[in-house]
Amino acid sequence: MARLVWITGASTGIGHATALAYARDGWTVAASARDATALATMAAGSAGRIHAFPLDVTDEPATLATHAAIEQALGQIDLAIFSAGTHLPVRLEPFETRAFRKLVEVNLMGVVYCLGAVLPAMTRRRGGQIAIVSSVAGYFGMPTAAAYSATKSALISLAQSLKFDCDRYGIALSVINPGFVRTPLTDKNEFPMPFLISAEEAAKRIVDGLAAKRFEITFPRRFALILKLIRLLPYGLFFPLVARGTRIEKP
């Protein structure tokens, strides 16, 4: 019997590529995103492997209802990958607080609502697997990413904190921290993106990492290591280095 994976943010980018990868590997895929048309198109070309369940993850009742609908239609969810997310740049002129509210609702609370949907059943059966897609931007505050880095850092801390209890209940929990991956979101970036990889390569690394049940799945590894070393620097070195590397200029 095919195993079942639920993937949010599945209409584009990493979520889309990961859904296709699992379908190719013989899994049944429950694909969620706001774009119902994109989901239907993907499902139509999947030979019955991918099933569309449109969802706005910022709607908690809808998230609970979607989870129930998936399990009623397809059975027990073995793996849940929460990759829905977005990015809005933050600058001082103008300083827009709406960016923070938007990204907290989508990137952070969207994951929290999804966790609230899957954890009760996994806790009862003392098994299952969950992956939270964060970012290397959560390692430290990136220029123009005050809202994005804050939410991605929160997801890393969330995963670290929950892992203690998940281990006790036999639930495998992972956090996925991609570097720069070519997606519609990164296509909007106006700064250098070192070690840029395709969404398909990112999906392969996610599938492999989750099969090995690694807690942190990060890629490209060399880039992630560089960032982890940078965050250890004293601030007198940290700020000039990051500003120079990202070509931040004075107004």
Q: How do the domains of the chain map onto residue ranges?
A: 4-245
Nearest to 63 by CA among 34, 35, 42: 34
Q: Which of 32, 46, 83, 134 is catalytic?
A: 134
Q: Which of 22, 152, 153, 174 is catalytic?
A: 152
What are the beta bridge partners of residue 82?
8, 132
Q: Quote the CA–CA distance of 201 and 140 in Å, as a whole number.
A: 24
Give the pLDDT confidence of 29-65 residue by residue, as tens digits.
999 999 999 999 999 999 999 999 999 999 999 999 9
Q: Which of 113, 135, 148, 149 is catalytic?
A: 148
Task: Identify the CATH homologous superfamily for domain 4-245.
Answer: NAD(P)-binding Rossmann-like Domain (3.40.50.720)
Read off the pTM.
0.93
Active site residue 22: no
Asked if residue 7 lies in contact with residue 19, where contact means CB atoms within 8 angstroms, the answer is yes
Active site residue 152: yes
Structure tokens at 83: 């990759």
Active site residue 188: no
Name the E strands within the chain: 4-8, 28-32, 50-52, 79-82, 128-133, 171-178, 181-182, 197-198, 216-219
Nearest to 136 by CA among 227, 231, 243: 227
Give the pLDDT confidence of 200-213 residue by residue, as tens digits.
999 999 999 999 99
Give the pLDDT confidence of 108-152 residue by residue, as tens digits.
999 999 999 999 999 999 999 999 999 999 999 999 999 999 999
Is-cis flag, bond preceding 89, omega within 30? no
